[in-house]
Each structure stands twice: as C-alpha cells, then as structure tokens.
C-alpha cells in the first residue's frame, strides 16, 4: 500500500517539476512529502506529550507560544 502511495505522489509531482524546471525533484517528491508528514505528527502530537512527561514543571507552566517553540 505504501508503495502505491509513493508512486502516486511521484506521478502527481511530475507536472510541477517540469513546470519549475526541476527534473529530478519528482524522484524525491515522495520522500519530501512523507518526511514532512512524519515531522508534523512528531511535532504536533508526540513531542508535547513526551515533553509534558519529562519536564512537567517547566513545560507545564510555559505559555503556549513558548511550548510551541520548545
């Protein structure tokens, strides 16, 4: 299943790569998209939970802006 998704992302990126003159970017589009999704999941869900467990006082008392930059 993941192989099919990777192929679809590559196929979808070909017109954009040709339009921008970046012929090799479509070879790596799946890695770029999946890396972005992985980072987003870690940053938005796993990291706050782990930080709250490991640093309950300093992370818990911090303002939202500070926790986002943590």
Q: What DSSP letter does each residue of the chain carry, written as one string? A: -HHHHHHHHHHHHHHHHHHHT-TTHHHHHHHHHHHHHHHHHIIIIIHHHHHHHH-HHHHHHS-HHHHHH-
Report pTM: 0.69
Total domain count, the chain = 1
Count of positions (residues) in the chain? 70
12-38 burial string, b = 16+ CB within 10 Å, else e?
Answer: ebeeebeeeeeeebbeebbeebeeeee
* Mean pLDDT value across residues 51-68: 88
The yes-or-no verdict on residue 70 having pLDDT over 80 is no
Question: What pLDDT sits at residue 38?
Answer: 95
**Domain span holding position 44:** 2-69
């Amino acid at each position: 299943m993941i192989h099919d998704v990777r192929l679809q992302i590559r196929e979808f990126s070909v017109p954009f790569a040709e339009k921008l003159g970046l012929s090799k970017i479509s070879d790596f589009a799946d890695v770029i998209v999946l890396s972005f999704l992985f980072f987003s999941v870690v940053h938005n869900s796993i990291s706050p939970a782990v930080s709250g467990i490991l640093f309950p006082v300093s992370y818990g008392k911090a303002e939202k802006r500070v926790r986002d930059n943590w």
